[in-house]
Amino acid sequence: MTDKNVLRPQLWKPRTVEETISVYADWADTYDKEVTERGYKTPARLADVLAKFADKQSLVLDFGCGTGISGAALKTLGFEHLHGTDITAEMLDKATASGLYEKTWLSTAGDMDFEQGSYEVIVAVGVVSLGAAPPETLSALIDKLGIGGYLAFSYNGPTLEDGSYVKALDDEIASGRVECLFRKNGPHLEDVGMNSDIIVLRRK
Ligand SMILES: C[S@@+](CC[C@H](N)C(=O)[O-])C[C@H]1O[C@@H](n2cnc3c(N)ncnc32)[C@H](O)[C@@H]1O
């Protein structure tokens, strides 16, 4: 993978949580323009899939909501009740200002700061990713679902190539506490031909 293929090369190598926050804090002002120009398709694809499974009146948590692009895609598909959280204040401020969310809050990498079963649906678009949160975040999100709750998320190309994220997903399915309802590969960043998997799990 070359630098041409990724938007912030610093995100694609080992780093601390503080470094992750610092990169996204610096990126907040230009994030929407940059990803839109490069053909960021995953939010719309995920919202489209979610609409086939979940009730549009569900209370949805947009985990790692960033500036609100993922929330905007969900709203376009008719999901009305959105909450959003992120660990980067500068990204979250944009999401809050967008008016898309009924509630937003700043979480930390160690504390998502909500109770299990609070949300019928959790989405994580581009968040459980080599360029954002570590693989163990997947299990932490599944821990927060009530029985029958949905987790809809994406794994982009580099994340799929990294064995640890795929293992986290395979282990969860093998454990029997979630079933995989949907998984399909498609465009993520169109201008560099990067794809992502959209995955929908349901807690058993
Ligand atoms: C690539 S952006 C995606 C933002 C938004 N979901 C979208 O589709 O545009 C990744 C986001 O994940 C956030 N993030 C990284 N690690 C996180 C963690 N452990 N918990 C919550 N958010 C995290 C970053 O601050 C950033 O806003």
**Rounded to the nearest whole angstrom, what is the distance from the C-alpha of residue 24 to the centroid of ligand 1?**
8
Per-residue model confidence as pLDDT tens for the chain (204 residues) = 444 556 788 888 789 999 999 999 999 999 999 999 999 999 999 999 999 999 999 999 999 999 999 999 999 999 999 999 999 999 999 999 999 999 999 999 999 999 999 999 999 999 999 989 999 999 999 999 999 999 999 999 999 999 999 999 999 999 999 999 999 999 999 998 999 999 999 999
Residue of 83, 91, 155, 70 whose CA lies nearest to 112? 83
Nearest CA to ligand 1 atom 9: 69
Q: How many angstroms is it from 44 CA to the middle of ligand 1?
A: 16
**How remote is the CA of residue 62 from the centroid of ligand 1, in Å?**
10
| Pairing assessment for the beta strands 178-189 and 150-156 based on DSSP bridges | unpaired
Answer yes or no: is 126 within a domain. Answer: yes
**179 to 12, 42, 169: CA distances (angstroms):** 29, 22, 11
The per-residue pLDDT for 150 is 98
Residues spanned by the domain of 99: 38-108+116-203
Q: What is the pLDDT of residue 2?
A: 42
Q: Distance (Å, rounded) from C-alpha 89 to C-alpha 137? A: 19
> Is there a domain that residue 95 lies in?
yes
In a domain, 97, yes or no: yes
In a domain, 30, yes or no: no
Q: Are strands 194-203 and 178-189 parallel, antiparallel or unpaired?
A: antiparallel
9 lies in some domain: no
Instruction: Indicate which residue's Cα is closest to atom 16 of ligand 1.
Output: 133
The pLDDT score that the predictor gives to residue 10 is 81
Domain count, the chain: 1
Q: Is the four-CA dihedral 22, 23, 26, 29 of positive or negative sign?
A: negative
Q: Compute the distance between CA of residue 169 and CA of residue 55 in angstroms, rounded to an integer.
A: 24
Residue 44 lies in a domain: yes
The pLDDT value recorded for residue 78 is 98
Q: Which of 70, 60, 63 is nearest to 87 (CA)?
A: 63
Ligand 1, atom 4, residue with closest C-alpha: 66
Amino acid at 68: G
Is any ligand 1 atom within 6 A of the Cβ of residue 165?
no
Within a domain: 17: no
Q: Is residue 13 part of a domain?
A: no
Q: State the CATH number of the domain containing residue 57.
A: 3.40.50.150
